[in-house]
Chain A
Amino acid sequence: MSATDGMSLRCEGLGFSYEEAGVPIPALRDVGVELPAGRSLALLGASGSGKSTLLQLIKGLDAPETGRVVLDGCAPDSPGYAGLQREVGIVFQAPELQLFATSAWEDVAFGPRRLGREEAEVRRAVDEAMALVGLPPEEFAARHPYALSGGEQRRLALAGVLAMQPRLLLLDEPFVSLDPATRRQLTAVCSRLRASGVTLVLATHDVDIAWTLCDDLLVLEEGRVLASGVWDAEGSGRALRSTPRLREPFLVALWRRLGRDPARAPRTHAEAAEALR
């Protein structure tokens, strides 16, 4: 895919609560994030730790009660901020539930058309996005979204977001319920996006996929930042060991078991096999 000028992200002191029977339940407390353009961030934390809420605040779907989200160095009161927000793509959990058009191609085209793109540009973006997620338009364009398999629907929904050419992409548990082969395909798509320069935030419970894809780490616990920064197994990554509801990546745990330096644990099985051969 073509190179993308990724967007930098800075969250400053974000706070947010949900209300239950009139009582505020804090979801995020003083959360800070610093993610340079083009880097990929693993957002890890137990269920209910605030991962999805943080993604929604970054996209601007909810307004934080405290703090602010700075995109490409622009604060929310800057004149170009709304335009930057439109360049933030978000893929929700189970995004296939939002498919609605009568053909796969039309579903993917909905977003870029809504952004007011020229039809020729829409065509190019849709074709490219469908190819990128492994649903080549020559084969899938006319298919009804509901006639696709679960994994194909998930990838189609992702294509719908990618067709809007986001510079910052937020993914909320994208691998849930996918078969291993589809998970591998989607991991490869994320890897290509990362290589193209898109800034990536990946909220997931799959710490092993996150370890292969992400440079940086943000660990949330009950809405607070437990660890952040470059993902170093013996630095920021130690939080994954000390938090009872989380776990370290398989390869880090293996390196520790074998008495090797976890800080130098490989990112892929191929790298691990090279080191152990």
Chain B
Amino acid sequence: MTPPHDASDAPTAEPAEAGPGPHAGPALELRGLRYRYPGAAVDALAGVDLAVAVGESVAVVGANGSGKSTLARLLGGLERPASAESAVVCGHDLLTDDGRMAARRDVGVLFQNPENQLVAQCVEEDVAFGLENLRWRPDDMRRRVDAMLARFRLTDLRSREPHLLSGGQKQRTALAGVLAVPRRVVVLDEPTAMLDPAGREEVLQAVAGLRADGLTVVLVTQEMDEVVGVDRVVALEAGSVAYEGGVSGLFADTALVRRLSLALPAAADLALELAARGRSLKPLPLTLDELTTALEASG
């Protein structure tokens, strides 16, 4: 595929999945990031420290209101931080207007509610929307849109009006639109919340594919089963990082899980019920496969 046309703000590299070329340093590095909504009495983000390496996948979890969606918006350059010692995403300083504008290009954000993200008259126009704004050449745009429609199984729906889609179809259209523009980082804010089991699996597989392509993925989720499999998990509590580390480390600390309004994956929850009745499974199983194996092994 040839690069998009010569508009001064167009990306300069091949529109591959991994985005417009590498940059030095971590994908994102935040120190003491603060944000407060206008009129609010407390900070929504009260000093977040977080570093994510290029190509890493990180899940962000936490109670409703803990700051997850606010963090997602800030990472996408959509809000101005109140303050930070440092807030750099893909090499762009989020504390400056120019940095935030540049971050908007490199970071794709998919929000919780696809209703707010669908703007065009039909599905394919919606997927093309970001590319049109970047003034891609029509041939490149058509190829890119076709590929995105196929990837998210939207080809048969390409002419349909977005408001006639089901919730799952809308979310897949929004995701296709976000990913149509080449990105370095994708921030997914509960991308599967409204999808049926197959749609959820489909999006999670697509996300796994993006990781394989070298994209940095930040997955905000309330689904504990989705946390299993990411490289690292970050738990927010009242706007601060309360846990950062491995997935099994988080779920091993049941008191912390409860305090953070989280839950254990189903397999781990059942294993703890069993442990309370004298049958202990170690290590703690996190998936149905692991639970089945552990139960069979322990007779």
Same complex for A and B? Answer yes
Which residues of the partner chain A approach B112 to less than 8 Å between Cβ atoms?
A: 177
Do A273 and B197 touch (CB < 8 A)?
A: no
- With A48-B168, A254-B288, A276-B274 as contacts: A205 and B279 at CB distance below 8 Å: no
Do B199 and A245 touch (CB < 8 A)?
A: yes
Checking A181, A208, A257 against B266 with a beta-carbon cut-off of 8 angstroms, the contacting residue is A208
- Which chain A residue has the least Cβ–Cβ distance from B168? A47
How many chain B residues touch A (Cβ–Cβ < 8 Å)? 44
Number of interchain pairs (Cβ within 8 Å): 116
Residues 148 to 196 of chain A near chain B (Cβ within 8 Å): 149-152, 173, 176-184
Please indicate which of the listed interface residues B62, B198, B224, B269 has the most CB atoms of chain A within 10 Å of its own CB.
B198
CA distance A48 to B166 in the complex (A): 5
Do B273 and A178 touch (CB < 8 A)?
A: no
Which residues of the partner chain A approach B160 to less than 8 Å between Cβ atoms?
A: 20
Which residues of the partner chain A approach B166 to less than 8 Å between Cβ atoms?
A: 47-48
Q: Is A4 an interface residue (CB 8 A)?
A: no
Do B292 and A258 touch (CB < 8 A)?
A: yes
Q: Is A138 an interface residue (CB 8 A)?
A: no
Which residues of the partner chain A approach B288 to less than 8 Å between Cβ atoms?
A: 250, 253-254, 257
Which residues of the partner chain B approach A114 to less than 8 Å between Cβ atoms?
A: none
Residues 4 to 56 of chain B near chain A (Cβ within 8 Å): none
Do B222 and A47 touch (CB < 8 A)?
A: no
CA distance A176 to B288 in the complex (A): 23
Do B222 and A180 touch (CB < 8 A)?
A: yes
Interface string of B153-176 (1 = CB under 8 A from A): 000000011001111110000000
CA distance A184 to B257 in the complex (A): 14
Ordered by A's residue number, 24 sampled pairs between the chains whose C-beta atoms are within 8 Å are A20-B160, A46-B198, A47-B199, A48-B165, A93-B194, A152-B64, A173-B194, A176-B194, A179-B262, A181-B258, A182-B64, A183-B263, A207-B197, A244-B198, A246-B196, A246-B198, A250-B288, A257-B288, A257-B292, A258-B295, A269-B269, A269-B273, A274-B277, A277-B274
Residues of B at under 8 Å CB distance from A? 62-65, 112-113, 160-161, 164-169, 190, 193-200, 222, 224, 258, 261-263, 266-267, 269-270, 273-274, 276-279, 288, 291-292, 295-296
Residues of A at under 8 Å CB distance from B? 18, 20, 25, 45-48, 93-94, 149-152, 173, 176-184, 205, 207-208, 244-247, 250, 253-254, 257-258, 269-270, 272-274, 276-277
